Protein backbone atom coordinates (compact mmCIF):
# COMPACT_ATOMS: atom_id res chain seq x y z
CA UNK A 1 0.00 0.00 0.00
CA UNK A 2 1.29 3.46 -0.92
CA UNK A 3 2.01 5.44 2.26
CA UNK A 4 -0.01 8.66 2.62
CA UNK A 5 1.54 12.10 2.94
CA UNK A 6 0.38 15.67 3.33
CA UNK A 7 0.48 17.86 0.23
CA UNK A 8 0.48 21.40 1.55
CA UNK A 9 -0.29 24.35 -0.73
CA UNK A 10 0.51 27.83 0.59
CA UNK A 11 -1.82 30.22 -1.24
CA UNK A 12 -3.00 33.81 -1.38
CA UNK A 13 -6.49 34.88 -2.42
CA UNK A 14 -6.25 36.26 -5.99
CA UNK A 15 -7.64 39.73 -5.34
CA UNK A 16 -7.23 42.41 -8.03
CA UNK A 17 -4.61 44.96 -6.99
CA UNK A 18 -3.06 42.58 -4.45
CA UNK A 19 -2.25 39.47 -6.50
CA UNK A 20 0.57 39.13 -9.02
CA UNK A 21 1.14 42.88 -9.21
CA UNK A 22 4.48 42.35 -10.98
CA UNK A 23 2.50 41.23 -14.03
CA UNK A 24 1.20 44.81 -14.37
CA UNK A 25 1.80 46.06 -17.01
CA UNK A 26 1.09 44.59 -19.49
CA UNK A 27 -1.64 42.87 -17.46
CA UNK A 28 -4.27 44.95 -15.73
CA UNK A 29 -4.85 44.28 -12.01
CA UNK A 30 -7.99 42.32 -12.93
CA UNK A 31 -6.11 40.23 -15.49
CA UNK A 32 -3.30 39.59 -12.99
CA UNK A 33 -5.85 38.34 -10.46
CA UNK A 34 -7.37 36.08 -13.13
CA UNK A 35 -3.92 34.64 -13.85
CA UNK A 36 -3.34 34.06 -10.13
CA UNK A 37 -6.74 32.39 -9.77
CA UNK A 38 -6.04 30.16 -12.76
CA UNK A 39 -2.65 29.21 -11.30
CA UNK A 40 -4.27 28.25 -8.00
CA UNK A 41 -6.99 26.21 -9.68
CA UNK A 42 -4.59 24.33 -11.96
CA UNK A 43 -2.33 23.65 -8.97
CA UNK A 44 -5.25 22.28 -6.94
CA UNK A 45 -6.27 20.03 -9.83
CA UNK A 46 -2.79 18.48 -9.85
CA UNK A 47 -2.60 18.24 -6.07
CA UNK A 48 -5.95 16.49 -5.74
CA UNK A 49 -4.97 13.92 -8.37
CA UNK A 50 -1.87 12.65 -6.54
CA UNK A 51 -2.53 9.12 -5.19
CA UNK A 52 -2.22 8.96 -1.42
CA UNK A 53 -1.94 12.72 -0.97
CA UNK A 54 -3.91 14.45 1.77
CA UNK A 55 -4.31 18.02 0.43
CA UNK A 56 -4.12 20.94 2.85
CA UNK A 57 -4.29 24.58 1.72
CA UNK A 58 -2.89 27.31 3.96
CA UNK A 59 -4.77 30.38 2.75
CA UNK A 60 -4.48 34.09 3.35
CA UNK A 61 -6.59 36.94 1.97
CA UNK A 62 -10.25 37.59 1.23
CA UNK A 63 -11.65 34.90 -1.03
CA UNK A 64 -14.91 36.80 -1.21
CA UNK A 65 -13.11 39.58 -3.10
CA UNK A 66 -11.05 37.23 -5.24
CA UNK A 67 -11.25 36.39 -8.93
CA UNK A 68 -13.24 33.24 -9.71
CA UNK A 69 -14.58 32.94 -6.14
CA UNK A 70 -17.19 30.27 -6.93
CA UNK A 71 -14.74 28.06 -8.81
CA UNK A 72 -12.12 28.40 -6.10
CA UNK A 73 -14.70 27.70 -3.41
CA UNK A 74 -15.74 24.51 -5.19
CA UNK A 75 -12.11 23.39 -5.50
CA UNK A 76 -11.44 24.03 -1.81
CA UNK A 77 -14.25 21.66 -0.88
CA UNK A 78 -11.89 18.83 -1.75
CA UNK A 79 -9.10 19.93 0.61
CA UNK A 80 -8.56 20.88 4.23
CA UNK A 81 -8.18 24.65 4.49
CA UNK A 82 -6.25 26.31 7.31
CA UNK A 83 -5.47 30.01 7.81
CA UNK A 84 -1.97 31.34 7.50
CA UNK A 85 -0.55 32.93 10.64
CA UNK A 86 2.64 34.79 11.44
CA UNK A 87 4.23 38.24 11.06
CA UNK A 88 6.14 37.49 7.85
CA UNK A 89 6.28 34.94 5.08
CA UNK A 90 8.97 32.78 6.67
CA UNK A 91 6.97 32.49 9.87
CA UNK A 92 3.77 31.76 7.95
CA UNK A 93 5.49 28.93 6.08
CA UNK A 94 6.83 27.42 9.31
CA UNK A 95 3.43 27.72 10.98
CA UNK A 96 1.66 26.21 7.96
CA UNK A 97 3.78 23.08 8.32
CA UNK A 98 3.03 22.91 12.05
CA UNK A 99 -0.70 23.42 11.54
CA UNK A 100 -0.88 20.88 8.72
CA UNK A 101 0.99 18.38 10.91
CA UNK A 102 -1.58 18.98 13.64
CA UNK A 103 -4.35 18.02 11.20
CA UNK A 104 -2.55 14.90 9.92
CA UNK A 105 -0.28 13.74 12.73
CA UNK A 106 2.84 11.73 12.00
CA UNK A 107 2.90 12.11 8.22
CA UNK A 108 5.59 13.63 6.00
CA UNK A 109 4.74 16.88 4.23
CA UNK A 110 5.50 18.19 0.76
CA UNK A 111 4.83 21.92 0.58
CA UNK A 112 4.43 23.94 -2.61
CA UNK A 113 2.97 27.31 -3.54
CA UNK A 114 0.52 28.43 -6.23
CA UNK A 115 3.21 29.94 -8.49
CA UNK A 116 4.07 26.73 -10.36
CA UNK A 117 0.85 25.80 -12.21
CA UNK A 118 2.87 23.58 -14.53
CA UNK A 119 3.14 20.90 -11.82
CA UNK A 120 1.61 17.52 -12.59
CA UNK A 121 0.45 14.73 -10.29
CA UNK A 122 3.42 12.66 -11.46
CA UNK A 123 5.92 15.42 -10.68
CA UNK A 124 4.45 16.00 -7.22
CA UNK A 125 4.46 12.30 -6.41
CA UNK A 126 8.10 12.03 -7.49
CA UNK A 127 9.08 15.09 -5.44
CA UNK A 128 7.44 13.63 -2.35
CA UNK A 129 8.87 10.13 -2.81
CA UNK A 130 12.20 10.66 -0.96
CA UNK A 131 10.48 11.65 2.30
CA UNK A 132 7.36 9.58 1.73
CA UNK A 133 9.15 6.26 1.52
CA UNK A 134 11.73 6.84 4.23
CA UNK A 135 14.80 7.26 2.06
CA UNK A 136 15.53 10.90 2.93
CA UNK A 137 14.74 13.35 5.71
CA UNK A 138 14.02 16.27 3.37
CA UNK A 139 13.60 17.45 -0.22
CA UNK A 140 14.21 20.90 -1.67
CA UNK A 141 13.05 21.79 -5.19
CA UNK A 142 14.94 24.83 -6.51
CA UNK A 143 13.34 27.62 -8.53
CA UNK A 144 14.94 29.36 -11.49
CA UNK A 145 14.85 32.74 -9.72
CA UNK A 146 17.01 31.51 -6.83
CA UNK A 147 14.18 30.56 -4.51
CA UNK A 148 12.50 27.19 -4.16
CA UNK A 149 9.15 25.78 -5.23
CA UNK A 150 8.91 22.61 -3.09
CA UNK A 151 9.98 21.58 0.40
CA UNK A 152 9.49 18.06 1.67
CA UNK A 153 10.05 17.07 5.28
CA UNK A 154 9.84 13.63 6.85
CA UNK A 155 9.40 15.38 10.21
CA UNK A 156 7.46 18.65 9.81
CA UNK A 157 8.96 20.13 13.00
CA UNK A 158 12.09 20.91 10.97
CA UNK A 159 10.11 23.59 9.09
CA UNK A 160 10.77 25.94 12.00
CA UNK A 161 14.09 26.83 10.36
CA UNK A 162 12.10 28.72 7.70
CA UNK A 163 11.16 31.40 10.21
CA UNK A 164 14.76 32.66 10.11
CA UNK A 165 15.25 32.51 6.33
CA UNK A 166 14.71 35.73 4.33
CA UNK A 167 12.13 34.97 1.65
CA UNK A 168 11.57 36.27 -1.89
CA UNK A 169 15.26 36.91 -2.52
CA UNK A 170 17.71 35.64 -5.12
CA UNK A 171 19.54 33.70 -2.40
CA UNK A 172 16.48 32.29 -0.60
CA UNK A 173 17.10 28.84 -2.06
CA UNK A 174 20.69 28.55 -0.89
CA UNK A 175 19.83 30.09 2.47
CA UNK A 176 17.04 27.55 2.94
CA UNK A 177 19.37 24.72 2.00
CA UNK A 178 21.96 25.94 4.49
CA UNK A 179 19.32 26.26 7.22
CA UNK A 180 18.14 22.69 6.62
CA UNK A 181 21.69 21.36 6.71
CA UNK A 182 22.47 23.36 9.85
CA UNK A 183 19.42 21.68 11.40
CA UNK A 184 20.97 18.28 10.77
CA UNK A 185 19.12 17.42 7.55
CA UNK A 186 20.50 16.16 4.25
CA UNK A 187 18.06 17.32 1.56
CA UNK A 188 17.43 15.40 -1.62
CA UNK A 189 16.84 17.40 -4.76
CA UNK A 190 13.83 17.87 -7.04
CA UNK A 191 13.59 19.27 -10.59
CA UNK A 192 14.20 23.00 -11.02
CA UNK A 193 11.03 24.87 -11.98
CA UNK A 194 10.19 28.44 -12.94
CA UNK A 195 7.95 30.43 -10.60
CA UNK A 196 5.50 32.89 -12.12
CA UNK A 197 6.63 36.35 -11.03
CA UNK A 198 6.77 38.37 -14.26
CA UNK A 199 4.83 38.25 -17.51
CA UNK A 200 7.87 36.69 -19.18
CA UNK A 201 7.73 33.92 -16.57
CA UNK A 202 3.99 33.54 -17.09
CA UNK A 203 4.31 33.18 -20.87
CA UNK A 204 7.16 30.68 -20.57
CA UNK A 205 5.27 28.54 -18.06
CA UNK A 206 2.04 28.76 -20.06
CA UNK A 207 3.84 27.53 -23.14
CA UNK A 208 4.76 24.39 -21.23
CA UNK A 209 1.21 23.66 -20.07
CA UNK A 210 -0.98 25.05 -22.88
CA UNK A 211 -4.14 23.11 -22.05
CA UNK A 212 -4.98 24.58 -18.65
CA UNK A 213 -6.76 27.58 -17.20
CA UNK A 214 -3.44 29.29 -16.58
CA UNK A 215 -2.43 29.34 -20.23
CA UNK A 216 -5.84 30.69 -21.24
CA UNK A 217 -5.62 33.47 -18.65
CA UNK A 218 -2.13 34.45 -19.83
CA UNK A 219 -3.21 34.44 -23.49
CA UNK A 220 -6.07 36.78 -22.59
CA UNK A 221 -3.56 39.51 -21.72
CA UNK A 222 -2.43 39.68 -25.34
CA UNK A 223 0.73 41.23 -26.63
CA UNK A 224 2.39 37.87 -27.33
CA UNK A 225 0.86 34.52 -28.13
CA UNK A 226 1.52 31.50 -25.98
CA UNK A 227 3.36 28.91 -28.08
**CATH among 3.20.20.140, 3.40.50.10470, 1.10.1200.10, 3.90.550.10 for 5-220:** 3.90.550.10
Question: Parallel, antiparallel, or unpaired: how do β-strands 109-112 and 5-12 relate?
Answer: parallel
Q: Cα separation of 56 and 104, whole Å? A: 9
Residues 6+ apart with CB under 8 A from 65: 13, 15
Give CA torsion, residues 122, 126, 132, 134, to 10 deg: 150
What is the pLDDT averaged over residues 51-72? Answer: 96
Query: How confident is the prediction for the chain on average, in pLDDT?
Result: 93
What is the pLDDT averaged over residues 190-200? Answer: 94
Given this model, what pLDDT does residue 135 score? Answer: 82
Q: Cα separation of 17 and 33, whole Å? A: 8
Residue 2 pLDDT class (50, 70, 90 cuts) = confident
Q: Write the pLDDT tens digit of every residue in 137-156.
A: 999 999 999 999 999 999 99
Q: Cα separation of 96 and 111, whole Å? A: 9
Q: Examine the pLDDT at 41 and tell me if it is beyond 60.
A: yes
What is the pLDDT averaged over residues 205-220? Answer: 94
Q: Write the pLDDT tens digit of every residue in 98-129.
A: 999 999 999 999 999 999 999 999 999 999 99
Given this model, what pLDDT does residue 90 score? Answer: 93
Residue 57 pLDDT class (50, 70, 90 cuts) = very high
The domain segmentation of the chain, as residue ranges, is 5-220
Q: Cα separation of 102 and 192, whole Å? A: 30
Q: Write the pLDDT tens digit of every residue in 75-105.
A: 999 999 999 999 999 999 999 999 999 999 9
Residue 224 pLDDT class (50, 70, 90 cuts) = very low
Amino acid sequence: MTPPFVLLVVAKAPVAGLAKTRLCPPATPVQAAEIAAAALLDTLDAVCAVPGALPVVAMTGDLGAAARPVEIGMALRHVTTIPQRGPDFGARLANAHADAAAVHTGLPILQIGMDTPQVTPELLAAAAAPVRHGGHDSVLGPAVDGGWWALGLAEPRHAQVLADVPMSREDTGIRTLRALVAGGLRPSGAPRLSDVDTMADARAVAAGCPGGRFARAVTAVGGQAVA
